[in-house]
Structure 1
Amino acid sequence: MRARGDEAAWFLEDGCPDLLEADEVRLNTVEDIIDFNPLAIFACGNLIFHFLPGIKVSVFHGYPIGKRGEKNNEKDDHFSIRGWFDMYCTQGPSSTEYFKKLEAKHQFFKVYQTGWAKVDPYFSDYEKHNKTPTILYGTTFSKGISSAPHLVDTISHLAKNKNWNWRLTFHPKISDQALLNKYRALADEHSNVSFIDNVRLEDFQQSDVMLCDSSSIILEFMLMDKPVVTYCNTNPGKHLLNVTDVNEVEGAIETALSRPDDLMKDVNDFAHYHEAYRDGHNCERILNAVDDFNNNYKDKIKKKPLNLWRKFRLRNKLKYWK
């Protein structure tokens, strides 16, 4: 936005980690947003406050990988149409094809395949400094799916007995502090283990293999042409080294570190199906899509549904009644 000469600002809801730089513009109240009067508001969540000005744009917070074992798009929450958005900026064929069908059905929003804004920096050049293999462990927060309760002892054993570095990161919605403290203790006990509160791009770049379960973070890691070992994945496939026994984790990681050709081809094919572009220009495509919507579709397509009860609940959330 800045490179185009545009202005950008952020509104962080209560409880959202503040990872912004010092020179980023922060809007602290609803009145601040209304005064800013944006052309568009970009939301990475499932909802957006309807009473705010601007084109409402969904840019998503993950990929549709069916982490709860969904076998069709109709049951995947990624594709839920709640009547909030004017635009959906999809990431690749796995999301675009079905959203285009939903666009034709509902007719009150437009779909643009732009790629995911988050991953633009993933495709910049970087230099890997560590010589010791590094394993990044990430997990979903979904109860019954998360591997976190099952892998504490396994990771502790591997940290002690294998010449590997470990980086441990957890979804911010995981609320079991006793469990998290067990993983923090691993970082205190082992010099080759780090506990990361907020995973950063460099954690992806400096890691060789990911150990995970069914989180969409799997795909983000694969975009860097890197293999993933999963424990009890809900939708296993050839692109994963999936195990169902904690005793198989070590061998699977060793296989992943060897990067067998067949596995890496499947990793690449899977990543391309979900993320269409590798040029680092997804953000530009999103802004161009907003311009196209503003020029050609705004106030010209079907109106969004009334959603009176949902609108009441959103207003009540911010206690804003004007």
Structure 2
Amino acid sequence: MKVVLFCMNPYSFGILEPIMKVLKQRNYQYVWFVREEVIQKFPFKNEYITSNIKEVVDFKSDALFVPGNEVPHFLRGVKVQVFHGFAGEKKGHFRIRKYFDLYLTQGPYFTRKFLQLKSKYKDFEVIETGWPKLDVYGQTLHKFDTDKKDLLNKFNVEKIILFAPTFSPSLTCAPFLEKEIEHLAIHKNYLIIIKFHDLMSSEFIKKYKDIADKTSNILYVDERNIIKYLLISDLMISDTSSVVYEFLLLNKPVITFKTHSKVFKWDNSLTYEKLTEKVKINLEQDPYKKERKEIFNEYHPYSDGKSAERMVDATEDYIKKHGVPESRELPWLRRYKMNKMFGKQ
């Protein structure tokens, strides 16, 4: 099987890495397509990458794994949606854009909704596999324990708090929590790690970097992959970011501000106030511990570290049943959009 790992944004690298490892184990041929604007952020040495869509056309792939919303219809191969997160409440998460042959869902909540959509559109398959980015939870859950111990000792703190808001202007809490974060940092038994999305506004990046520079127990990090910080942190502060669900699946408390989630199983505030008080309550009392179990069961009930394997298996099975499509039929407007983005082939 010949495979394209299709990346339009840097967040895709960490999602597709476990799939790449499975492809290596099975001796499959693969290439990374990375959009030219983000290719300098590609983290894997000795991997073949290209931003030339003509090269991908000539590769004649059998399958394309895509964490984003779009993929050129004219590329050969099964177009597989692997998703870029868990925030089903975000606009467009369940929108059918007609690009994909196969949707590989994270858990029952998503599977039910896409099966309903399948019955309506009748031109794609849906299989529940789990999400590859979280395979690390089943494989190396304690990989960064030493890093955590070193940080606790270095900063002489007891707990690590992760501030990881989304970048979306209409959803992010970043503009409203500067003073609250500074006030929280008065408590020197906390280390506050700030980890922003790759697409966060440069204005807020600068503001929070300035705060970190002048505050001894605030650490701003630029690393692409957030997994390390999810694993070492004791509590997360966020909003409507999909990493909320990734953190909850580690069975640790979350505080959000004005989340758009319709059903939340954590501490959500409708005002940008009392952050310090909420942190203390959630660390000491953990009042939403029972509710987090429901998130695990519905969103990602897999802890075996084999979601990437299931994704590759599901794609192999699809090809056995349906063959390899030479292209994907799209409405005219969608075709026009892809031709404009990548050039008409």
Q: Give TM-score scaled by structure 2 length.
A: 0.84
Aligned to 2:258: 232
Q: 2:210 aligns with which of 157, 180, 185?
A: 185
Deviation readout 1:170-205 (Å, 9 max, x if unpaired) = 222223x23221100111111221112234321111
Contact 1:122–1:223 (CA under 8 A) maintained in structure 2:
no
Q: Secondary structure at the match of 2:268?
A: strand
Which amino acid letter does the alignment assign opposite residue 218 of structure 2? V
Deviation readout 1:119-170 (Å, 9 max, x if unpaired) = 1112333034254201100111222321101101111121133421011122
CA distance in 1, matches of 2:137, 2:48: 25
Q: Secondary structure at the match of 2:64?
A: strand
Q: 2:281 aligns with which of 255, 271, 292?
A: 255
CA distance in 1, matches of 2:328, 2:71: 13
Moved more, 122-131 or 216-225: 122-131
Q: Secondary structure at the match of 2:318?
A: helix
Alignment of 1:240-251 (within 5 A): 240-251=266-277
Cα distance change of structure 1 residues 183 and 77 upon mapping to structure 2, 3 Å threshold? same
Cα distance change of structure 1 residues 64 and 160 upon mapping to structure 2, 3 Å threshold? closer
Aligned to 2:141: 125
CA distance in 2, matches of 1:202, 1:231: 23
Moved more, 118-127 or 209-218: 118-127
Aligned to 1:49: 72
CA distance in 2, matches of 1:154, 1:308: 49
Aligned to 1:160: 186
CA distance in 2, matches of 1:237, 1:314: 35
Contact 1:147–1:231 (CA under 8 A) maintained in structure 2:
yes
Q: CA deviation at 1:65?
A: 3.6
Equivalenced residues, count: 309
Contact 1:45–1:60 (CA under 8 A) maintained in structure 2:
yes
Percent identical pairs in the alignment equals 30
> Is 1:276 aligned with 2:276?
no
Contact 1:64–1:95 (CA under 8 A) maintained in structure 2:
no
Q: CA deviation at 1:259?
A: 5.1
Contact 2:109–2:299 (CA under 8 A) maintained in structure 1:
yes
CA distance in 2, matches of 1:104, 1:62: 23
Q: 1:116 aligns with which of 113, 117, 131?
A: 131
Q: 2:62 aligns with which of 39, 61, 69?
A: 39
Contact 1:136–1:204 (CA under 8 A) maintained in structure 2:
yes
Alignment of 1:130-141 (within 5 A): 130-131=151-152, 132-141=158-167
Deviation readout 1:257-288 (Å, 9 max, x if unpaired) = 1253x521211221321113111000000000
Q: Secondary structure at the match of 1:144?
A: coil
CA distance in 2, matches of 1:24, 1:140: 29
> Is 1:298 aligned with 2:299?
no
Contact 1:160–1:190 (CA under 8 A) maintained in structure 2:
no
CA distance in 1, matches of 2:207, 2:320: 54
Structure 1 unpaired stretches of 5+ = 68-75
Q: Secondary structure at the match of 1:9?
A: strand
> Is 1:146 aligned with 2:188?
no
CA distance in 1, matches of 2:174, 2:268: 16
Structure 2 unpaired stretches of 5+ = 1-22, 153-157
Cα distance change of structure 1 residues 30 and 236 upon mapping to structure 2, 3 Å threshold? closer
Which amino acid letter does the alignment assign opposite residue 181 of structure 1? K
Q: Which has the higher helix share?
A: 2
Contact 2:73–2:328 (CA under 8 A) maintained in structure 1:
no
> Is 1:5 aligned with 2:5?
no
Q: 1:214 aligns with which of 211, 219, 240?
A: 240
Contact 2:79–2:102 (CA under 8 A) maintained in structure 1:
yes
Aligned to 2:155: none
